[in-house]
Amino acid sequence: MRSRMPGMWWGTAIEAPDPAALARFYADLLEWPIVHEEPGTSILGTPGGAFMVFQQATDYTPPTWPPEPGAQRPMMHLDFQVADLDDAVGEALSLGAKLSPTQHRENVRVLFDPAGHPFCLCRDD
């Protein structure tokens, strides 16, 4: 982006019914710091300098995965590469994630965060 200047922040915004709780889930899972909180918004810092912004969503509806006709589709999802897939899945489950009953690849596990967003843990093959 031509108008972007050094030091300007960038990242992704994720809607949630409880943004502070969802930010804490990802902060614990990824060991990344929560760098800002205010009513309705929590921001997680990443090692690369981007941010994950969790925003309050009124009448939030979790996405359906795999997608189904007429249901709320995931608009995006997060992927995280891991060295030990079983260990990473166990850790995510202990923090409140849920394992999707539908799995398509041996080296990838689809899970749902506490707000119902799908995310993937991908073994380092």
pLDDT band at 101 (very low <50, low <70, confident <90, very high): very high
**CB distance 67 to 73 below 8 Å:** yes
> pLDDT at position 1, please?
63
Average pLDDT (5-10) is 73
Average pLDDT (4-16) is 82
Average pLDDT (79-83) is 95
pLDDT band at 106 (very low <50, low <70, confident <90, very high): very high
For 83, the token pair is 């060295």
Q: Give every CB contact of residue 108 below 8 A, 6+ residues apart in sequence.
A: 120, 121, 122, 123
For 92, the token pair is 């995510």
pLDDT surpasses 90 at 24: yes
pLDDT surpasses 70 at 32: yes
The mean pLDDT of the chain is: 92
- For residue 89, with 0-12 CB atoms within 10 Å meaning exposed, 13-18 middle and 19 or more buried, which class applies? middle
pLDDT band at 55 (very low <50, low <70, confident <90, very high): very high
Whether the pTM exceeds 0.85: the reply is yes
